[in-house]
Chains A and B, each alone.
Chain A
Amino acid sequence: GENVEQHPSTLSVQEGDSAVIKCTYSDSASNYFPWYKQELGKRPQLIIDIRSNVGEKKDQRIAVTLNKTAKHFSLHITETQPEDSAVYFCAALLSGSARQLTFGSGTQLTVLP
């Protein structure tokens, strides 16, 4: 099966700075990589995703990059704001796996005002 590792587990940045969270996956057959933001006690919210045929995707202050050769993908948040503080999860979908996502362990992002 798939295994997803996520780093760092905690990340503190000053407001306005950038934040980068990295994930690696084990199975080269994975082809879909979403990122979720989860606030305390709430549901995970999809913030951006990328498919294996694309190397980079950007949506305003959020971007995701994918390196298929190295089997890693990263979330980049620029101009961070206090409301970006949350737990972020990466995930990978293994092709042909009945669409089961495998999640990383999560990163607690704290944006300091």
Chain B
Amino acid sequence: GAVVSQHPSWVICKSGTSVKIECRSLDFQATTMFWYRQFPKQSLMLMATSNEGSKATYEQGVEKDKFLINHASLTLSTLTVTSAHPEDSSFYICSAPLAGAVGTDTQYFGPGTRLTVL
């Protein structure tokens, strides 16, 4: 099956610092990847769509200057949380869709990154 990895799995940082999270598709190419944020006991909220070779598209209410996304290759997307604050502490998960013979849209999720901002 399709495998998506994320790094790091957890990070603790001081307020005001920047944190970079990597999302990789290990055995397939992904022209599109999605970044989600999940607060405790809540659902996955889509933050942005990462597009290889073009700018990311952000959901309403997500600050593009704070959450920088770079889709550098067909297997790597990065999310940088700039000037992180305690309210940014959350579980960040990426996903990548796997296209199938009938244009399927099965999405495979990375293991997530637990960000704690002190």
Contact = CB atoms under 8 A, between A and B. Distances in A.
Interface of A: 32, 34, 36, 41-46, 49, 51, 89, 93, 98-106
Contacts of A49: 106
Q: Chain B contact residues (Cβ within 8 angstroms of A): what range?
A: 20 to 34
A36 B112 CA distance: 15
A32 B105 contact: yes
Nearest to A101: B107
Interface in B50-107: 57, 91, 93, 95, 97, 104-107
B7 interface: no
B104 A46 contact: no
Interface of B: 32, 34, 42-44, 46, 49, 57, 91, 93, 95, 97, 104-112, 114
B108 A46 contact: yes
Nearest to B10: A41
Q: Is the interface of B mostly helix, strand, loop or mixed?
A: strand
B43 A103 contact: yes
Which of B43, B46, B108, B110 has the largest number of chain A CB atoms within 10 A? Answer: B43
Contacts of A51: 104
A49 B98 CA distance: 14
Contacts of B114: 41
Contacts of A106: 42-43
Given A34-B106, A44-B93, A99-B97, A104 B43 contact: yes
Given A43-B110, A99-B97, A101-B95, 18 more contacts: A32-B104, A34-B106, A36-B109, A41-B91, A43-B93, A43-B109, A43-B111, A43-B112, A44-B109, A45-B109, A46-B106, A51-B104, A89-B43, A89-B44, A98-B49, A100-B46, A104-B43, A105-B42
